[in-house]
């Protein structure tokens, strides 16, 4: 596609349910990043992939959060046993990487609300 | 992670230049300085980046101090559409060829008509 696509755009779930957020990066982009953004705050780094390899997951808050990118393209961020504090905008970004530019292209985000 | 420090907010009059400062005193020799902005209800978008020399593009200019411990994003003529949160980021090299971008809280720019 022309840009980074995220789905769903909005997700409301009950506490304790699992959710899966999907990111479809720009075709050909090697690197994929997940961020979480609370209202009024800057994006908080969660994890990062080059191709299918997860290069850094130091930002994942706890073991309820996981991410995968099995074929080096689409990525899924999964939150198990959701809690109210998980409510936020989850943003995905991709970049060509391996270049000095490394410009990130962000998607529209997935807004998660945990009741 | 390399850190940046920016003022929480700034104001500018429309049609006037805006200088947005950023301090990054712990910058390493391989860190690129990136600027992104986030318009209301949108994802961040790339503005400009540089390493050592000043840079210009259609959106803005980036002035980098000689010691690289600070930089300034310059919007030459602010418009109402430039009202956004501006983030100064150091691209952190994890290992060769892999990077991560750590956003701070940014500077909220208000443009007055």
Residue B39 near chain A (CB below 8 Å): no
| Size of chain A in residues | 115
Average pLDDT over residues B47-61: 92
Residue % of chain A over a pLDDT of 70 = 95
- Verify whether the Cβ–Cβ distance A103 to B102 is below 8 Å: no
pLDDT band at B100; cut points 50, 70, 90: confident
* Residues of chain A contacting residue B55, judged by C-beta atoms under 8 Å apart: none
> What pLDDT score does B67 carry?
93
Q: Which residue has the tokens 């109210």?
A: A84
- If one compares B77 and B100, the residue with the highest pLDDT of the two is B77
Report which DSSP code applies to B5: B
- Verify whether the Cβ–Cβ distance B97 to A97 is below 8 Å: yes
- Verify whether the Cβ–Cβ distance B104 to A42 is below 8 Å: yes
CA distance A79 to A84: 12
Q: Above 90 in pLDDT, residue A2?
A: no
pLDDT band at A14; cut points 50, 70, 90: very high
Q: Which residue on chain B is closest to A42 by alpha carbon?
A: B105
> What pLDDT score does A97 carry?
66
- Residue A12: CB atoms within 10 A of its CB come to 12
3-state secondary structure of B33: strand
Q: Give Rg (Cα) of chain A.
A: 13
CA distance A18 to A13: 8
pLDDT tens track for A54-109: 988 999 999 999 999 999 999 999 999 999 999 999 999 999 865 656 789 999 99
Specify whether the CB–CB gap between B107 and B54 falls below 8 A: no
Range in A27-36, B9-18, B72-81, B88-97 with the lowest mean pLDDT:
B88-97
Structure tokens at A8: 């769903």
* Residues of chain A contacting residue B32, judged by C-beta atoms under 8 Å apart: 100, 102
Residue B53 has, within 13 A of its CA and on its CB side, a CA count of 2
Q: Above 80 in pLDDT, residue B60?
A: yes
Q: Which residue has the tokens 């409510």?
A: A87
């Amino acid at each position: 596609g022309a840009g980074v696509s995220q789905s769903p755009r909005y997700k409301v779930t009950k506490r304790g349910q699992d959710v899966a957020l999907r990111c479809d990066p720009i075709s050909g982009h090697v690197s994929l990043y997940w961020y979480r953004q609370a209202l009024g705050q800057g994006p908080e780094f969660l994890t990062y992939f080059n191709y299918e390899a997860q290069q850094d997951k130091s930002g994942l808050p706890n073991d309820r959060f996981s991410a995968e990118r099995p074929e080096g393209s689409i990525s899924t961020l999964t939150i198990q046993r959701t809690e109210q504090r998980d409510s936020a905008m989850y943003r995905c970004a991709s970049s060509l990487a391996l270049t000095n530019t490394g410009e990130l292209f962000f998607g529209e985000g997935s807004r998660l609300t945990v009741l | 992670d390399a850190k940046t420090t920016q003022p929480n907010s700034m104001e500018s009059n429309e049609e006037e230049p805006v200088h947005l400062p950023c301090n990054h005193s712990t910058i390493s020799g391989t860190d690129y300085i990136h600027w992104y902005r986030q318009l209301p209800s949108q994802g961040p978008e790339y503005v400009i980046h540089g390493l050592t020399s000043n840079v210009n593009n259609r959106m803005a200019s980036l002035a980098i101090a000689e010691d690289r411990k600070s930089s300034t994003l310059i919007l030459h003529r602010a418009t109402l559409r430039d009202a956004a949160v501006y983030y100064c980021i150091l691209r952190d090299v994890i290992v060769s060829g892999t990077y991560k971008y750590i956003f701070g809280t940014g500077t909220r720019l208000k443009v007055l008509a």
